[in-house]
Structure 1
């Protein structure tokens, strides 16, 4: 029983360790360890710290200091042990060590503290007054309900259920808007942000089945089952996936875009909250700026020969014209979603907010009250059917609506002070203010941007589409 005392154990079902086995008594399993110790040792490598090394024997074994709670009873069998003379070498490669955090290349430079305030009536009144001041500056979204022939067969297929039909109608309208903006053409790379299973890219590929020199980049931070990807292997289109958070994505470093300097079209279906702002900054600041810097060339040298000079001048004009025609970002088409998940740190419209005398505190409440836009639909919202379409990363929009109708709208102290219709109007205006800041951001960077309702509210409560194309200089 000496081994029991050495290990701090008590009386168990075994009188002692098995011959040639470790003498450590495992309290959780109520038995001795069955590991085989090294010759001349009583304890195995995991429990070697129980034994004091003899002179001339290698140093003792201890627990790794960076492993999670190595001395807790729960972790007793999972802790990391290492020889004392090897500790420093182990710490350099230990999986439990603190790893450097990736740089957020698409976040704003400045950071703000997280705000935790209670939404009370006095502040709500103040925000509502601010809304009335902003209302004349805001342009209401137009109704542009379009479709595309690439989805007609699927839309007429009776095998598709209601949920799949709603997704198809949204995708058809997004493609119709892309066609209206002349974005469905050759020589382009379509980057789908928050791609999920990549259904939007799939339909863009179907619409461009006779077009050459196109490629697709599907950006998704979550792991997902790639059921749709198999359909692309039979086509000549180039599809590539990136599992990365949008805030860490630098498009000009993606090999497929370094190889082919193709204009990019950013697309997305229900890109939640701050993901939209990160995607806009990724396209407009990170990628477009880097491409413009790479395309800058020194002016052609002057020549003495008049004929050669005229020829060189003509070539120079052609080069300048080609540089002007090349637009790193050919267009942006993103279906907006979940404004209550926006974040002031990532928000691209902060300049617009500040110009209106607003700041992070006001944005916090605009963000929260944006969920009121759907609070009037609580009684009619039903849970989405569990078909393969609902497996998308973004999920069914109705799921989003139901979630924050029950949380944000139901938890606020103002719920009983305003009617459902008043809350819906306030929430819709909050969403419009946040989206207008995004429009201003794109306009200040040389884009013709607009907001439009791309589908009916009976199809999706999140039915606003943000579009942007470069302003023409001619």
Structure 2
């Protein structure tokens, strides 16, 4: 008999590791029963249960326990950063966006593409390249910090993290005075601002900031649970206070975090997917946010194809350009063409000659689709930039790494 269950786990791309039960190729969790079927949990669709066990499972589902506990926290406020009262509560899926674009007539599609190019020429002229590896982060790049060996190393991610922090330092929102102490993993600057990392994941961006600059308080905001987190290494710093809040950014009332009240803080985030960028900006800068405490903001935007009109921070920007809600969702769908391209070098230098029907009887080469996709990403982030400037922040939008490092290379920067 096999020592492992024969049930294939598609997400993990391996078989279940639990030993099988007697006279079966499967473990107790995955044994086939002729009178029962597996169905998705209605609370957390990331896992499934036997239909006969569903009722009892729903009473003890781990996610339900977490939601009940979270609702009692003072910093939880349902939908506070959602941005509006729209009818499409579930948002518009990528499939619906694609179908809407492909249902356009040729004149409609040509008109929209021409409008996108005109708007891009009008409002996206000052997006500069800003690839920075600050001196403070050189020790990470060279793997010189002893405690760094505990962290999984991927060069492209370290380069991105360094440039996110380097641009924040260049803007004047991050002090590099603690560079001389950076090789001491327990060092931290007593007068440094707190750090709030949004969409923190495993927390490696904050790990670099803490090692290379020195911070005293860290708040990691992430709705999912992760293994191999940087938390353990961060907690070894004697003078650093760390809090990890498992909460959706949409529901986070930053003013109600007791340990953050009255403190200057930096808001950082690497690859905040789709509407998470809008929610983060609204959380830090919008109505009710402690704007006076925000010292600086450095957010790498990502996954523009997931953006939703109901969450977007600057609807007026689009409307003033005579772009509708439907135009917005079409533009978000076009952005996927930017990341689908070959980024071994700049788009302008690649041989992208594959032609594809995009709908409305219009054919575009891969090069043309990629260029249009990048224009759409620029426009979406330009609206976000304009919104922050209107709220009195000194703000910039830059490309912080080359596209062959990551095609998701936009960085929103701001300081009070």
Q: Distance in 1 between matches of 2:400 and 2:53?
A: 57
Once the two structures are superposed, residues 239-265 of structure 1 have per-residue CA deviations (whole angstroms, 9 ceiling, x without a partner) of: 11000000000011112113xx11221
Counterpart in the other structure of 2:130: 144
Gaps of 5+ in 2: 1-32, 37-41, 44-49, 176-190, 346-354
CA contact (8 A) 1:151 1:168 kept: no
1:363 pairs, out of 324, 328, 340, with 328
Counterpart in the other structure of 2:263: 262
Once the two structures are superposed, residues 338-372 of structure 1 have per-residue CA deviations (whole angstroms, 9 ceiling, x without a partner) of: 11011111000211001111121000100000111
TM-score where L is the length of structure 2: 0.69
Higher relative contact order (CA 8 A, sep 6+): 2
| Change over 3 Å in CA distance of 1:424–1:414 after alignment to 2 | farther
Counterpart in the other structure of 2:242: 239
Counterpart in the other structure of 1:452: 398
Deviation at 1:79, TM superposition (A): 5.0
Q: Distance in 2 between matches of 1:218 and 1:415?
A: 48
For the pair shown, the structure with the greater C-alpha radius of gyration is 1
Q: Distance in 1 between matches of 2:333 and 2:232?
A: 40
Q: Distance in 2 between matches of 1:266 and 1:461?
A: 23
Counterpart in the other structure of 1:228: 230
| Change over 3 Å in CA distance of 1:75–1:199 after alignment to 2 | closer
Deviation at 1:410, TM superposition (A): 8.2
| Change over 3 Å in CA distance of 1:341–1:77 after alignment to 2 | closer
CA contact (8 A) 2:197 2:221 kept: yes
Q: Distance in 2 between matches of 1:365 and 1:205?
A: 40
Deviation at 1:216, TM superposition (A): 1.0
SS at match of 1:417: strand
SS at match of 2:387: helix
Matched, 1:208 2:213: yes
1:418 pairs, out of 350, 359, 364, with 364
CA contact (8 A) 2:274 2:302 kept: yes
- How do residues 46-445 of structure 1 correspond to structure 2 at under 5 angstroms? 75-76=51-52, 79=55, 103-113=78-88, 116=96, 117-119=100-102, 120=104, 121-134=106-119, 135-157=121-143, 164-185=154-175, 186-209=191-214, 214-235=216-237, 236-258=239-261, 261-286=262-287, 288=289, 291=290, 327-377=292-342, 412-413=358-359, 417-445=363-391
| Change over 3 Å in CA distance of 1:78–1:234 after alignment to 2 | closer
Deviation at 1:287, TM superposition (A): 5.1
Q: Distance in 2 between matches of 1:342 and 1:77?
A: 37
Deviation at 1:466, TM superposition (A): 0.8
CA contact (8 A) 2:195 2:218 kept: yes
CA contact (8 A) 1:112 1:344 kept: no
CA contact (8 A) 1:150 1:203 kept: no
Q: Distance in 2 between matches of 1:461 and 1:78?
A: 43
Q: Distance in 1 between matches of 2:55 and 2:131?
A: 60
CA contact (8 A) 1:216 1:239 kept: yes
Deviation at 1:274, TM superposition (A): 0.5
Q: Distance in 2 between matches of 1:27 and 1:363?
A: 49
TM-score where L is the length of structure 1: 0.61
Q: Distance in 1 between matches of 2:174 and 2:157?
A: 20
Q: Distance in 1 between matches of 2:327 and 2:337?
A: 16
CA contact (8 A) 1:450 1:467 kept: yes
CA contact (8 A) 1:147 1:169 kept: yes
Aligned residues: 320
Deviation at 1:281, TM superposition (A): 0.4
Gaps of 5+ in 1: 1-25, 30-65, 68-73, 81-89, 293-326, 382-408
CA contact (8 A) 1:251 1:287 kept: no
